């Protein structure tokens, strides 16, 4: 078994925001491998995030972001459970990053849950018809339609979009990591994006 050093624990704690004991246990379980330990903590954090998702989040803040000398602006409401967490620099940074994400990627919805079923059905039918017009068999056309529908969700749903600061992760993953670190439910409630002249 690999010897776990204080520097390894400190490094993992800086990367994840997890507690010292959790970091030490994850490193021991991962045999001293920082990357593997980080993935273990994320997996445990995601499980914790799922448990917290039902809790009420009525505190938080409205963050703004103005881009291009006032030509583009975003307001976003990000909620948490307590005013204490809402005042932390980590929460403020998350809210600002989300506002920048909205400015850069122009989503239409926060999540898939907001999209009407008729809209999703219409998109799926369009993609299916496109595949059929290319001579694809029905089963393949259906798989192509589902794949294109997933790409559409990633374009129009904020939580499904690749995060602008790390495109290997989705915005939903960034929010779940914040939930794991703060120990509170965090939700992106709503947003508005304004472009001059639109």
- How many Å apart are CA 195 and CA 192, to the nearest integer? 10
| One domain for residues 100 and 41 | no
Residue 31 lies in a domain: yes
120: CATH: 1.10.286.20
Domain of 123? Answer: 116-155
In a domain, 1, yes or no: no
Residue 89 banded pLDDT, cuts 50, 70, 90? very high
Average pLDDT over residues 132-141: 85
**Percent of the chain surpassing pLDDT 70:** 89
Q: Which of 16-20, 71-75, 170-174 shows the lowest mean pLDDT across its residues? A: 16-20
CATH of the domain at 75: 3.30.479.20
Out of 31-40, 101-110, 152-161, 186-195, least confident range:
31-40
Residues 94 and 120 in one domain: no
Average confidence (pLDDT) over 33-38: 84
Residue 34: which CATH number?
1.10.8.10
In the predicted model, is pLDDT for residue 41 greater than 90?
no
Angle, alpha carbons 69-70-71 (nearest 5°): 100
CA separation for the pair 89, 76 (Å, rounded) = 17
Q: Same domain for 130 and 34?
A: no
Average pLDDT rounded to a whole number, residues 61-82: 92
Does residue 120 form part of some domain?
yes
Q: Calculate the average pLDDT of the chain.
A: 85
Mean pLDDT for 3-26 is: 78
Looking at the 3D structure of the chain, how many domains does it have? 3
Contacts of 18 (CB under 8 A, 6+ apart): 12, 26, 41, 45, 180, 181
Same domain, 24 and 120: no
């Amino acid at each position: 078994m690999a010897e776990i050093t204080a520097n390894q624990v400190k490094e993992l704690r800086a990367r994840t925001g997890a507690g010292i004991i959790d970091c030490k246990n994850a490193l021991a379980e991962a045999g001293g491998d920082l990357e593997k330990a980080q993935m273990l903590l994320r997996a445990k954090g995601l499980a914790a995030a799922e448990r917290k998702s039902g809790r009420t989040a009525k505190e938080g803040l409205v963050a703004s972001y103005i881009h291009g000398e006032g030509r583009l602006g975003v307001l976003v409401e990000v909620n948490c459970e307590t005013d204490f967490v809402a005042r932390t620099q980590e929460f403020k940074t998350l809210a600002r990053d989300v506002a920048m994400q909205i400015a850069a990627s122009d989503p239409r919805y926060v999540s898939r849950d907001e999209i009407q079923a008729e809209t999703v059905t219409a998109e799926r039918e369009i993609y299916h018809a496109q595949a059929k017009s290319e001579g694809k068999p029905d089963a393949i056309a259906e798989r192509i339609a589902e794949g294109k529908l997933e790409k559409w969700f990633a374009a129009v749903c904020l939580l499904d979009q690749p995060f602008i600061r790390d495109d290997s992760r989705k915005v939903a993953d960034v929010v779940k990591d914040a939930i794991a670190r703060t120990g509170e439910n965090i939700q992106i409630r709503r947003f508005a994006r304004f472009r001059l002249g639109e």
